[in-house]
Amino acid sequence: MSSEYHSTLIAKAIAEYPKLGYSILPGFFTEEELAPVLSTLHDTLPGPDAFVNGSAEFQESHRTNYRAGLVDWPYPSTELSLFAVHPKLIELSEILLGSPDIRMYNGHAWVKYAGASYDQDHHRDYRGHTPVIASQDPEFAHVQYFILLSDVDEGNGPPMFVDNRLAEGVPMHPHLAPRDAHPEFYEAEIPGVGPRGTVIAFDIDTFHRATDLKRDGASRYMLLSFFRRAEANWVAGPGRGILTEDAEWISFVENASRRQLDMLGFPAPDHRYWTDEIKQAYVGRYPHADRSWLGLA
Ligand SMILES: O=C(O)CCC(=O)C(=O)O
Ligand SMILES: [Fe+2]
């Protein structure tokens, strides 16, 4: 986190994000940091040739459902689950949300293939994040990340972003900005391209859209991770959530740092919640988890 290049990316995000509503950070994650994630990626998502070589049924599911390649956090790969709350993302979120008191509230891993159709109108994403309306008050801020796990260029479906200053005064509802209503968004849109390891941070009120993968045989791998201010607890994705007994969840907890557990809302180590009885039961529930922060050996 201390490299000079990383510091320039943080400075870029601080300068751009409040103004544009998004910031594209190429090479945010190094090849070294990506390696364990890429080597286990296909435990969670099918491979790049899965569509081309896939059964008629596989192809049909991807053609008719644009989310067919989407898997909700926590993932079969623990490396990937932990990556969703990578210390560098936590650090960036603290900066962009303006507080250390934050949560990771949902995430997805998503593969897309040329041949399926993904093209969207510009939209804001809050409907999938809260049953109410996203607030633009900084105290209740969200930040969304698209983390590119494959190189993305104009040929493999870059997401497009609209400078938030163009959307000033546009009410939060309805969430869609169709082409005939807002042609200026489509004329000025910026593609979210970059080499794998690129992180795109964007705000909950930022208009953006998906595009088709135009190059034959192309695929695109992306991780989505969403953070919010802790107090904005009306925000939570409709994904699998954290109330799960699945092996994916248990493995995540048992391998996460204490700071990563903070992101999921685990009470702080010194919180009065932690009675001796609760500590013992917690250790029973997660037998392989670090317990040193509970004062237990
Ligand atoms: O996958 C993408 O490029 C963007 C998808 C998106 O914005 C959405 O489905 O809401
Ligand atoms: Fe979206």
- Phi, psi at residue 208, to the nearest 5°? -160, 170
> Where are the strands (E) in 63-218, listed by range?
70-72, 102-113, 122-123, 142-148, 160-161, 176-177, 190-191, 199-202, 208-209
Q: Are residues 19 and 112 in the same domain?
A: yes
Contact 177, 122 (CB under 8 A): yes
293 CA to centre of ligand 1 in angstroms: 38
Domain count, the chain: 2
For the chain, 297 residues long, give each residue's pLDDT as a single digit of tens: 569 999 999 999 999 999 999 999 999 999 999 999 999 999 999 999 999 999 999 999 999 999 999 999 999 999 999 999 999 999 999 999 999 999 999 999 999 999 999 999 999 999 989 989 999 999 999 999 999 999 999 999 999 999 999 999 999 999 999 999 999 999 999 999 999 999 999 999 999 999 999 999 999 999 999 999 999 999 986 565 666 788 999 999 999 999 999 999 999 999 999 999 999 999 999 999 999 999 998
Look at ligand 1, atom 2, and give the residue with the nearest C-alpha: 210
- Phi, psi at residue 260, to the nearest 5°? -65, -35
How much is the pTM? 0.96
Ligand 1, pocket-test mutation among 22, 122, 205, 208, most atoms within 8 A of CB = 208
Look at ligand 1, atom 9, and give the residue with the nearest C-alpha: 210
Rounded CA separation 176/173 (Å): 8
CATH number at residue 138: 2.60.120.620
Q: Is the CB of 125 under 6 A from ligand 1?
A: yes
Q: Are residues 162 and 277 in the same domain?
A: no
Q: Are residues 254 and 278 in the same domain?
A: no
Residues 6+ apart with CB under 8 A from 119: 209, 210, 211, 212
Q: Which helix (H) or strand (E) holds 59?
A: helix 56-64
Q: Are residues 213 and 279 in the same domain?
A: no
Q: Are residues 112 and 229 in the same domain?
A: yes
Task: Please give the pLDDT value at position 131.
Answer: 87
Tell me how many helices (H) and strands (E) the chain has.
9, 11
Residue 127: alpha-carbon gap to chain centroid = 16
Beta bridge pairs of residue 201: 23, 145
The domain containing residue 295 runs over which residues?
271-297
Residue showing tokens 């930040």:
143
Task: Please give the pLDDT value at position 238.
Answer: 59
Q: Are residues 166 and 188 in the same domain?
A: yes
80 CA to centre of ligand 1 in angstroms: 19
Task: Please give the pLDDT value at position 236.
Answer: 83
Q: Are residues 132 and 70 in the same domain?
A: yes
